[in-house]
């Protein structure tokens, strides 16, 4: 029996019992002792290419050494007298070593989004205006959490709608003294325009306000800023409803509260 504790490379006559699999392992049997060994590492790409091209049943001399001290896995370091491999490998999916595995491309830290300039039915706050526009007469700071980031390292696009929702809740709490369970409207439409990525955690400042009233609905505009840069604008349409979910007229006092807030924002 060839001793298992061999640390010095030895040349043995081996028969391939199982060709190289998808994990790069070749199973061989020693001719003199019928011992089974598993080749998992290779001294060069040439050695690996030759062994990957050989079918089961092939016998050839292999110079090998043990990987580690106790496991039955081996490294092929030489093939005395072996033929040159063909240009085409039998199993090209198997990398020559773990260092040859393709690396995942890391996207840039702050990808830039192309601003959508499609025609809209509703007017959004112009870029850079924010609190300078009377319609956006309230400002809320919402904290970005680590869980809001996606695999690209910036805030996931779905989180922007949640940021607007939190600013909307703050708006009605502070201006109308309405809590979450007191709000009697539903969102009928939401529109978001992404301008820049939010690359990290921190605070997003959201300028928000009611920009127009209908009989049973009202429109709200939003401007989201991160690090003094506009990252998105948004618009939502809400419909006032009763306890049964049926549309009702927007309360007149809401119009008065918004008019007063606009006057304060405009310095009147």
State pLDDT tens for residues 124-181: 334 334 444 668 999 999 999 888 998 888 899 999 999 999 999 999 999 999 888 8
State pLDDT tens for residues 190-211: 999 999 999 988 899 999 999 9
pLDDT greater than 70 at residue 215: yes
Is residue 38 a contact partner of residue 73, using CB atoms and an 8 Å limit? yes
Assigned CATH for 10-100 = 2.40.50.140
Sheet containing strand 138-144, edge to edge, reads 138-144, 202-213, 217-226, 229-240, 185-194
CATH 3.10.129.10 fits 130-265, yes or no: yes
Q: What's the mean pLDDT when you consider all of the chain?
A: 80
Percent of the chain with pLDDT over 90: 46
What pTM did the predictor assign? 0.51
Place of tokens 């020693």: 30
State pLDDT tens for residues 29-77: 988 788 888 899 998 989 999 999 899 989 999 999 888 766 788 899 9
Which pLDDT does position 267 carry in this prediction?
60
Which pLDDT does position 83 carry in this prediction?
60
Which pLDDT does position 77 carry in this prediction?
92
Which pLDDT does position 157 carry in this prediction?
92
Contacts of 149 (CB under 8 A, 6+ apart): 155, 156, 200, 201
Note the Cα 95 to chain centre separation in Å: 26
> Where exactly are the structural domains of the chain?
10-100, 130-265
Fold: same for 10-100 and 130-265: no
Entry field: residues in the chain: 268
């Amino acid at each position: 029996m060839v001793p298992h504790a061999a640390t010095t490379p030895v040349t043995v006559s081996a028969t391939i019992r199982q060709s190289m699999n998808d994990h790069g392992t070749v199973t061989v049997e020693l001719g003199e002792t019928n011992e089974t060994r598993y080749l998992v590492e290779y001294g060069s790409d040439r050695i690996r290419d030759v062994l990957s091209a050989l079918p089961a049943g092939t016998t050839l001399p292999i110079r090998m050494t043990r990987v580690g001290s106790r496991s039955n896995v081996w490294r092929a370091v030489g093939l005395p007298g072996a033929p040159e491999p063909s240009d085409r490998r039998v199993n090209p999916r198997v990398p020559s070593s773990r260092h040859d595995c393709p690396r995942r491309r890391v996207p840039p830290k702050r990808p830039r989004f192309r601003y959508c300039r499609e025609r809209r039915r509703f007017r959004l706050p112009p870029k850079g205006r924010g609190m300078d526009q009377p319609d956006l007469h309230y400002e809320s700071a919402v904290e970005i959490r680590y869980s809001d980031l996606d695999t690209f390292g910036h805030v996931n696009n779905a989180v922007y709608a949640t940021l607007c929702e939190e600013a909307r809740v703050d708006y009605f709490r502070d201006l109308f003294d309405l809590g979450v369970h007191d709000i009697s409207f539903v969102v009928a439409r939401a529109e978001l325009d992404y301008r820049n990525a939010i690359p990290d955690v921190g605070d997003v400042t959201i300028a928000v306000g009611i920009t127009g009233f209908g009989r049973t609905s009202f429109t709200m505009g939003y401007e989201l800023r991160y690090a003094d840069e506009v990252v998105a604008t948004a618009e939502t349409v809400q419909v006032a409803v009763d306890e049964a979910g049926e549309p009702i007229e927007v309360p007149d006092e809401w119009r008065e509260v918004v008019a007063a807030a606009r006057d304060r924002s405009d310095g009147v």
